[in-house]
Amino acid sequence: MQNLYDLRRTLTSQGALLCFNGPFSHSIIEELGKAVRKYLETEEVQKSALMDVFSVYIEATQNVSNYANRAEWPEEERARLNAGIIVIGRSGDHYVVQSGNPVRPEDGEALGRRLDQLIALDKPGLKALYKEQMRSKLGPDSCGAGLGLIEMARKASEPLTYALVPDPGGLAFFSLKVIV
């Protein structure tokens, strides 16, 4: 890449307001989150819409970070997996939160099957599943509550979409798109 103009033009043409590509640390998640909220506040977005975007952003980035930092991964695997990308943009009257990260292919496929289940549910169905998941007992090493995807589906105004593509080096790349 000679310069960043083409990359920037691609992002801008897609309505991107903010993007980050790199390892998601907790402090990065906090800082970007502050930026997202500041931006939406200046846009005078309704409080509940602002919080929906923020909530999807947090669940998406913490999911990537929790996956990459699983206790069972060796150190070098964590470094390989914790290379996410997040793009927050606008499309017409909606905000779009897109996240992507490297995954082991079998995990990517499992995630896809999980999302297919969620996509098939309507809002009451999602709420019922959410409540059921909330009451389930978690393993002691569990980092997330398994609720993030359901929460994103509940906040979304259109069905979630995802893509899984092979990535050199034996990994796959998972992308998730949430329209709020």
Partner 1 sequence: MTLEFMDIPATVSSPQVRTDPQQGLICLAGESYPENSFEFYRPVSAWVAGFLARDGRPLTLEIRLTYLNTSSIKCLIDLLDEMEEAHRAGRTVALNWYYDLEDDRAMELAEEFKEDLTLPFTIIPVRRDG
Nearer to partner 1 by C-beta: 3 or 137?
137
Measure the CA angle with vertex 27, ends 173 and 59; round to 5°: 50
- Each residue 108-127 as x (binds partner 1 by CB under 8 A) or -, in order, gives -------------------x
14 binds partner 1 (CB under 8 A): no
Strand-pairing partners, residue 104, are none
Q: For partner 1, which stretch binds (CB under 8 A), given 12-20, 79-87, 105-113, 146-154?
A: 146-154
CA 39 from centre of chain: 19
Q: List alpha helices for the chain, DSSP H.
A: 5-13, 26-42, 47-68, 75-81, 105-119, 123-135, 148-155
Q: How far is the CB of 148 from partner 1 (least distance, A)?
A: 5
Give DSSP secondary structure letters for 81-112: H--EEEEEEEETTEEEEEEEEEE-HHHHHHHH
Nearer to partner 1 by C-beta: 121 or 164?
121
Six-digit token pair at 59? 């669940």
Nearer to partner 1 by C-beta: 128 or 165?
128
Rg of the chain's alpha carbons, rounded to an integer?
16
Nearer to partner 1 by C-beta: 7 or 134?
134
Binding partner 1 (rule: CB under 8 A), the pick from 8, 9, 34, 70 is: 34
52 binds partner 1 (CB under 8 A): yes
Measured CA to CA, the distance from residue 33 to residue 31 in angstroms comes to: 5
138 binds partner 1 (CB under 8 A): yes
Q: Which residues bind partner 1 (CB under 8 A)?
A: 26, 29-30, 33-34, 47-48, 51-52, 54-55, 58-59, 62, 127, 131, 134-135, 138, 142-145, 147-148, 150-151
